[in-house]
Amino acid sequence: MLGNSECSKADALNIPSVKGCIKFIADIVTMLPIKLYKNEDGKAVEIKNDIRVKILNNETGDTLNAEQFWRAIIADYFLGKGGYAYINKQGNKYMSLHYVDETYISVNKNTDPIFKNYNICVNGKLYEPHEFIKILRNTKDGAKGHSIIEESPLILSVAINTLKFEDNLVKKGGNKKGFLKSTKKLTQEVIDMLKVAWQRLYCNNSENVVVLNDGLEFQESSNTSVEMQLNENKETNSTELYKLFTMPASVINGTGTNADYTKAFKMAALPVIKTIECALNRDYLLEKEKESFYYAFDTKEMLKGDIKERYDAYKTALESNFMQIDEVRFMENLPALGLNWIKLGLDSVLYDPTTNEIYTANTNMKTNLKKVKGGEEVEN
């Protein structure tokens, strides 16, 4: 009866809570570097000289740089059918990565619910699925995802209509809608004069007064923003919208604690990060590489905002002997000291993994693990 109210992508981005959540997640994705690793005998070895790492983190080869590229992908991920990027290759050599607006993407699927297959169509030209990186939200076919606009149209419509109502209210200077009642018949000239006076009254650019003569009465037909509890409704709507992103409201409002930001990272950003990693591992590796190579975001960068938390983490790593001092200094962009010792206990027993020697400071003794037979020690 009130008409069909649809929310477009542009409308959704006009809702502050929606735009704030998308921006927060996009900020995290663009801030964290993507690294390429190779699994060698159970050890993760970072591959630093691969052109794909440069493409994903700096220069895409497109008109968009990597930061702009990921922001566009994240917006399409939440508000469209998904984030799509064309992989430009020459043979097995990766050349560039090109963002494609999801509105230009259409999918041609087969009808088999088990052995699913599809082609991607861009401006009438067909492409194979492996030619695109596809970042999809809540997909059931691997071809296109479902946006929050599709899944939750009602709450988004309520939020955008609330903003439109408030905008209309401001334009009218806060005056209520209504109609005039007259006890006697008015001439057309009087009616036209009243219309002009009323139009000036509802313009929010000057001070106007409408004089109602005897027999005229104004009858209200709407409530004010106070009577409708507009501010309270906006806060309630924002809270409901935060739930779509599993985002703590305090983070977007700027009142969040460190625990709130950690929760936001784990609940809102990390699922998106894992989706991107899976997509890259499937579409941005050669078939022969998929057994041992993989992409991963360097999430430790998230700790660099809190120096105390970061140093406490380093202290735990050093005391637990799974990191060395120079490894910590490397993460802090400090020059190495050349210290390869690992403390084994009480700060008096030291182990050098390069020579397999144990040095006991209390007795000034060295023991070579390769030369020990029957527990015999060699004095330094």
Tell the burial category of 344 from Cβ atoms under 10 Å away from its Cβ (0-12, 13-18, 19+): middle
pLDDT-derived band of residue 173, with 50, 70 and 90 as boundaries?
A: low
CB distance 380 to 350 below 8 Å: no
Higher pLDDT, 284 or 304: 284
Tell me the C-alpha distance between 309 and 303, whole Å: 7
Tell me the C-alpha distance between 327 and 316, whole Å: 13
Nearest to 121 by CA among 148, 77, 81: 81
Tell me the C-alpha distance between 325 and 307, whole Å: 17
Q: Report residue 61 as tokens.
A: 């080869």
Q: Kindly report the three-state secondary structure assignment for every residue of 307-321.
A: HHHHHHHHHHHHHCC
Residue 137 has what pLDDT? 95
Higher pLDDT, 335 or 16: 16
For the cut 60, the answer to whether the pLDDT of residue 372 exceeds it is no
Tell me the C-alpha distance between 164 and 169, whole Å: 8
Residue 317 has what pLDDT? 86
Average pLDDT in the chain: 82
Lowest mean pLDDT among 126-130, 266-270, 342-346, 368-372: 342-346
- DSSP letters, 88-100, are EEETTEEEEEEEE
